[in-house]
């Protein structure tokens, strides 16, 4: 595997707009502009945390702009999605914590320059429908598949939300089977998805068990096999994956084992056999001697691909969002 670094930069100056930020997402337009979003405020879960965006045009990032906020209630985990007509959807969570949050949606018809009024994705939802962290994928039959999960006081579980009408309505899949009796922690959340062949869909999942878990579907995501551990380490932190045009998979994650273990280094790895084996890790960021957990945090990646180019964002010490472009 040969990886060339095309560029690496920070989207904005650390500490200029808010004290902390986290959970980035990104999309790329046909004119090569990049739109990224994240949540920012005093700290994760604080009532002033809102959703922010920035556009990369003509080689540089624009000033961050607040695009969604809820008075007195934190916002979380934005997810950007672009349909075939370049209509942009921005999903995000609202609520005091993941156990009681719900999903809102705003839409842009002009590449993120202006946004619609927010609306609930699913009326009456508690716990979070739609994408929980990672991007929606469009299947070979045109269906949209949103990777979702639920967190309760005692367990974590995953599912997908299915839309066959371009996001107007959503159908919840069956839950991904998981034998909680055999687990040390709460379970699995925050899937990332790909389709290998028509109808054959797969997910990798963040887990509390020290390893990334996987589940597979043979019916376009309606039902799933029991989630099983891979040999990829996972520190109970977010992951993301993208399938390239040539069917290679690119995974971005912290190659660290242990529940709530340190979130450094962050790396990408490539699979040419549908996720059975992975190449040696390409390290993006690492701090061997952090003064505290925040100083050593490079986490919650988002990754997309166009041709043989890979575009990545992730949390950099909770102070800014790192952006990389790689050529594979």
pLDDT in tens, 225-275: 999 999 999 999 999 999 999 999 999 999 999 999 999 999 999 999 999
Whether the per-residue pLDDT at 80 is higher than 80: the answer is yes
Whether the per-residue pLDDT at 2 is higher than 90: the answer is no
74 class by beta-carbon count within 10 Å (0-12 exposed, 13-18 middle, 19+ buried): buried
pLDDT in tens, 273-302: 999 999 999 999 999 999 998 999 999 999
pLDDT in tens, 85-128: 999 999 999 999 999 999 999 999 999 999 999 999 999 999 98
CATH code, domain with 247: 2.120.10.10
Stretch 5-15: mean pLDDT: 96
pLDDT band at 307, cuts 50/70/90? very high
Stretch 24-43: mean pLDDT: 97
pLDDT band at 66, cuts 50/70/90? very high
The reply to whether omega before 56 is within 30° of 0 (cis) is no
What is the Cα–Cα distance from 317 to 323, expressed in whole angstroms? 13
Query: pLDDT value at position 268?
Result: 97
185 class by beta-carbon count within 10 Å (0-12 exposed, 13-18 middle, 19+ buried): middle
Whether the per-residue pLDDT at 1 is higher than 90: the answer is no
Whether the per-residue pLDDT at 174 is higher than 80: the answer is yes
155 class by beta-carbon count within 10 Å (0-12 exposed, 13-18 middle, 19+ buried): middle
CB-based contact 215:225 (threshold 8 Å)? yes
Whether the per-residue pLDDT at 163 is higher than 90: the answer is yes
Q: What percent of the chain has pLDDT over 70?
A: 100
Stretch 172-187: mean pLDDT: 96
* Distances, alpha carbon 109 to alpha carbons 11, 21, 143, 146, in Å: 23, 26, 21, 21
What's this model's pTM, rounded to 2 decimal places?
0.97
**Mean pLDDT rounded to a whole number for the chain:** 97
Domain that residue 310 falls in: 4-327
What is the Cα–Cα distance from 206 to 19, expressed in whole angstroms? 26
CB-based contact 147:191 (threshold 8 Å)? yes
Stretch 72-94: mean pLDDT: 97
Q: What percent of the chain has pLDDT over 90?
A: 98
CB-based contact 35:86 (threshold 8 Å)? no
Stretch 43-48: mean pLDDT: 98
Split into its structural domains, the chain has a count of: 1
Query: pLDDT value at position 98?
Result: 97
Query: pLDDT value at position 124?
Result: 94
């Amino acid at each position: 595997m040969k990886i060339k670094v095309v560029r690496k930069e920070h989207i904005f100056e650390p500490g200029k707009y808010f004290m902390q930020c986290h959970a980035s997402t990104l999309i790329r337009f046909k004119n090569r502009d990049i739109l990224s979003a994240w949540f920012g405020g005093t700290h994760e879960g604080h009532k002033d945390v809102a959703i922010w965006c920035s556009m990369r045009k003509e080689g540089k990032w624009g000033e961050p702009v607040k695009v969604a906020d809820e008075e007195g209630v934190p916002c979380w985990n934005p997810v950007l999605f672009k349909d075939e007509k370049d209509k942009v959807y921005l999903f995000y969570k609202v609520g005091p914590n993941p156990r009681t949050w719900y999903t809102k949606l705003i839409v842009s018809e002009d590449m993120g320059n202006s946004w619609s009024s927010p609306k609930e994705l699913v009326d009456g939802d508690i716990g979070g429908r739609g994408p929980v962290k990672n991007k929606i994928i469009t299947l070979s039959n045109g269906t949209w598949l949103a990777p979702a999960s639920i967190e309760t006081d005692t367990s974590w579980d995953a599912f997908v939300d299915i839309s066959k009408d371009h996001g107007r309505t959503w159908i919840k899949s069956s839950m991904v089977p998981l034998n909680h009796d055999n687990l040390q922690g709460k379970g699995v959340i925050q899937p990332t998805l790909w389709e290998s062949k028509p109808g054959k869909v797969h997910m990798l999942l963040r887990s509390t068990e020290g390893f990334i878990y996987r589940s597979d579907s043979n019916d376009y995501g309606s039902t799933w096999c029991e989630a099983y551990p891979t040999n990829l380490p996972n520190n109970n932190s977010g992951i993301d994956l993208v399938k390239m045009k040539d069917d290679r998979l690119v995974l971005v994650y912290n190659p660290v084992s242990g529940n709530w273990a340190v979130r450094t280094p962050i790396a990408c790895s490539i699979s040419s056999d549908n996720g059975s084996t992975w190449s040696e890790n390409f390290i993006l960021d690492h701090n061997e001697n952090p003064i505290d957990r925040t100083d050593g945090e490079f986490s919650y990646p988002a990754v997309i691909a166009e041709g043989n180019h890979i575009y990545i964002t992730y949390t950099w010490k909770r102070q800014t969002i790192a952006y990389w472009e790689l050529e594979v």
